[in-house]
Amino acid sequence: MKDFGPSYGKRPWNAELCTRVCIAMEGHPPVLKNSPLQLAAIELRFPEAVFLPEDLKAIRRGLAEAYPVPGTEHGIGIELTPEGTVRQQQATQRQVYRTIDSSHLVALTGTTLALEARGPQYEGFRHLLDRWLVALEAVVPVAEITTQLRLGLRYVNQLRVEDAEVGLDAVAGRINPALLSPSGAEGFEFRIATSFQELRLLQGDDGKATLRHGLQVAPAGDAGLAGAYILDLDYYDDRALSFDRDQHVEQLRAFNHGIWELFRWSLTSDEYEAMEPEDRE
């Protein structure tokens, strides 16, 4: 999860909005030269807002400089019933605003605002936070958001696995053994070919996180990647709170540190060193 420091290698996005909370961030994680990050995302959920055409035009204008490629995406939800039948749910629609290179995307529905950054273009948390503040400035006044129903920060990591045929043994020595259980346990004689587990975590009074992890094997014939070990970390607060921008930013900073600690714990020292961590200046 790399970070280029205060200038981020580019012109900061509305950096003045972040002055109080982004200056002198002490103890933040090191740069990983060989980062496995695939996706970083922030999502805010709020009570339903009704956007009129003029509202969407105002939001588009507010995002035009940073996200000049707008569009609309449609989706259809499906649900598998206990009887095994498929039931179609209500179609969904979201407004999207992309950067020219599609490395970053802002997505808006009547109840959610999200920012997504693709791993290779991710430039660190402070850069992500600056971009998020741009989205908030464009959307919050128009949607009249006064209540935060859920705030989440998510990082999806994909650790490349060359020899997936041996199953979970392929990541022995790379992943914390506590996550690989029962592989290697005394009396367990099976080879785990693939795995996927979801852990719901609590920290303190209101810290909540979800860790999804496991070995995924690429389809036969995929020459690009034999398999990957997924570390999908989501830190969030799902309490209904009055929306306060400063508190909101402080929460995201805390989430980022919590995710880093969990990410680092998930790796062995050898795997971590192979990612070539470097302290920030």
In a 3-state reduction of DSSP, which class is residue 69?
strand
| 210-246 confidence digits (pLDDT tens) | 999 999 988 765 656 689 999 999 999 999 999 999 9
* Whole-number Å distance between alpha carbons of 212 and 125: 21
Cβ pair 177, 193 in contact under 8 A: no
User: Any idea which of 26-35, 89-98, 136-145 has the lowest mean pLDDT?
Assistant: 26-35
Average pLDDT of 123-142?
Answer: 95
Is pLDDT above 50 for 21? no
| 257-281 confidence digits (pLDDT tens) | 999 999 999 999 999 999 999 876 5
In this prediction the pTM is 0.84
Confidence at residue 119, expressed as pLDDT on a 0 to 100 scale: 81
Q: What's the mean pLDDT when you consider all of the chain?
A: 85
Q: Angle 138-48-18 (CA atoms, 0-180°, nearest 5)?
A: 30
CA atoms 141, 7, 247, 201: torsion sign: positive
* Whole-number Å distance between alpha carbons of 118 and 97: 14
Confidence at residue 117, expressed as pLDDT on a 0 to 100 scale: 95
* Residue 22 banded pLDDT, cuts 50, 70, 90: very low
More confident residue, 90 or 31: 31
Q: Which of 76, 46, 267 is nearest to 143 (CA)?
A: 46
* Whole-number Å distance between alpha carbons of 106 and 59: 11
| 62-101 confidence digits (pLDDT tens) | 999 999 999 999 876 555 555 555 555 656 789 999 999 9
Distances (CA, A) of 250 to 84, 103, 175, 207, 255: 45, 25, 30, 13, 9
CA dihedral 156, 161, 165, 166 (to 10 degrees): -100
Confidence at residue 84, expressed as pLDDT on a 0 to 100 scale: 56
Q: Which of 124, 95, 113, 109 is nearest to 13 (CA)?
A: 124
